[in-house]
Amino acid sequence: MKSLLRALSLGTVCTLLSVNLSAKPIAMDELSVMPLMNGQVLPEVTLKDLDGAAVNLTELVSQKPTIFFFYRGGWCPFCNTQMGQLKAIEPKLIDMGFQLVGISPDTPAQLKASVRDNKLDYLLLSDADMKASQAFGLAYFTSREVSQRYTQKMNIENPLWVTPEGDKRLVLPVPAVYLMDKSGLVHFQYVNPNFRVRPAPELILTAAELLKK
């Protein structure tokens, strides 16, 4: 696994596709997303923190190397498990000089609930209008069945978006993890359309160690 990560890191250095990307269209399903890749740079996006204050991602990253993780929302049990796993390794990441930042479609009020319920110390940002999810190429329309199940049975209050065909659907981000240096260059990314599968904490720590070197 370490050799694979070294290859990814070397590929980043070799390609250096440092092109700022504009917002991408919302994919029609989770398998059709076109995520930001290694060697590309952080898009220009401003989100909101728990108090509704604006946070520019470029300015945030310029302070120290950053680990962004995109999650579906505090209502998602898989996301809450991941938040707990990241909480457990956060002290090691801080020792290595990283900051940890979570991004989701949750509102600032919902973020506050996640911080309270999961006893989190790291920063959570609201992407309620899906600007970051689109800019990173992670946003997708859920199916008609999933949209109905989530809104009716799970009481998700996210706004519905209109597809090119005129259907109203939920839009969610494919869960993802990005490691970036202070210039916003992506050195490692993990994107999996299967929301039940998240990267192991050990993988994130190994990637962070390689970036630190």
Write down the pLDDT at residue 155: 82
Rounded mean pLDDT, 21-32: 86
Quick: pLDDT tens for 108-146. Answer: 999 999 999 999 999 999 999 999 999 999 999 999 999
Tens digits of per-residue pLDDT, 163-172?
999 999 999 9
In angstroms, the CA 72 to CA 142 distance is 12
| Beta-bridge partners for 69 | 102, 177
User: pLDDT (tens digit, 9 = 90+) per residue, 198-208?
Assistant: 999 999 999 99
Residue in the structure block whose two tokens are 């108090």? 51
